[in-house]
Structure 1
Amino acid sequence: MDGFNLTDAEKSLSELVDRAEAGETIDILRDGKLVAKLVPAEPPDETPKRRVDTDALRQHLESQSGPMVASGQVVRIMRDKARY
């Protein structure tokens, strides 16, 4: 079959999704013209997650200049500078 009419595709969407999941590309037509394609999704990226080196992160944070300020205080300072 060249493609599915939009009305027929609406009626059998579940079946068409199953076919696309199996690797098939489905053309959807309106008035005989191609308006959409139902294609298989790309598989998710399977790269393994790396553990965070907390010691390196702590050293990096300690090396940053300036005093540690609470986030609420930072927001207040930014707001007040923008206001006045």
Structure 2
Amino acid sequence: MTAITLAEAKEKLGELIDRVAQGETVEITRDGLAVAQLAPPRLRKQPIDFEMLKAIREKMPPQSEDAGTFMRRFRDDERY
């Protein structure tokens, strides 16, 4: 992360935006203290495709035991 003074940021805003567009984060300081940060936008999350999840779930075999029984068996198995 690069630190730059507020005065420099005012002079070089276009250049700073280009650097941020390349993935860099720039911290802007005033009197030696960080007051702002320029950073690239976070990636947007993709919406959940419920139909795809439903199709995957329908292809899975049904469970032969309930979760409590499974966890007790897993806990009490010889492995532990």
TM-score (norm 1): 0.49
Partner of 1:39: 39
Aligned residues: 50
- Structure-2 separation of matches of 1:21 and 1:12: 14
Partner of 2:21: 21
Asked if 1 retains the 8 angstrom alpha-carbon contact of 2:2 and 2:25, the reply is no
- Structure-2 separation of matches of 1:3 and 1:18: 15
Gaps of 5+ in 1: 48-84
- Structure-2 separation of matches of 1:17 and 1:46: 26
Q: Provide the identity percentage.
A: 40
Gaps of 5+ in 2: 48-80
Report deviation, 1:42: 2.6
1:3 aligns to what SS in structure 2? strand
Structure with larger Rg: 1
RMSD across aligned positions (CA): 2.4
TM-score (norm 2): 0.51
